[in-house]
Amino acid sequence: MFRPSSIFLVEDDPDVRATMAAMLRELGHRVVAEAATIPDASAFAVTAEFDLAVLDINIGGYRIDPVVHLVQRRFRPMLFVTGNGTRWLPSLFRGHAVLEKPISIEKLEEMIDGIVGHAE
């Protein structure tokens, strides 16, 4: 049986963020926090209750690293999103799921299922 997840979404492009949030909701998940800046994302990373963080790697020209460290401290899984390809990802992102833009709802669903799975 499918288990909906609480999602923390970080994406600086408002159109992309709205599209991703709509896809997540269509898949049955709940977006509990959205951020477009590193400071806002950092605050939510510490305070929001979520099952999965979906993080764009580049936020306004800055890497998402500070937010990643905060999410890691809470032992929450992450799905990284990039529009720049995965070849040059920093070591911080290696070993985590990475979804390349443009994002399809099918690929998003597959990636989330692989991370948070289904409840028995």
| CA-based R_g, the chain, Å | 13
**Residue 1 included in any domain:** no
Q: Could you tell me if residue 32 is inside a domain?
A: yes
Domain hosting 82: range is 6-116
Supply the DSSP symbol for 64: S
Domain total for the chain? 1
Would residue 38 count as lying in a domain? yes
Mean pLDDT of the 109-115 span: 94
Asked if the model's pLDDT at residue 69 lies above 80, the reply is yes
Query: The CATH number of the domain where 60 resides is what?
Result: 3.40.50.2300
Closest CA to 97 of 74, 27, 107: 107
Strands 6-10 and 52-56: parallel
Burial class (CB within 10 angstroms; exposed 0-12, middle 13-18, buried 19+) of 16 = middle
Q: Determine the pLDDT at residue 119.
A: 42
What pLDDT, on a 0 to 100 scale, did the predictor assign at position 87? 65
Hey, what amino acid is at 21?
Answer: A
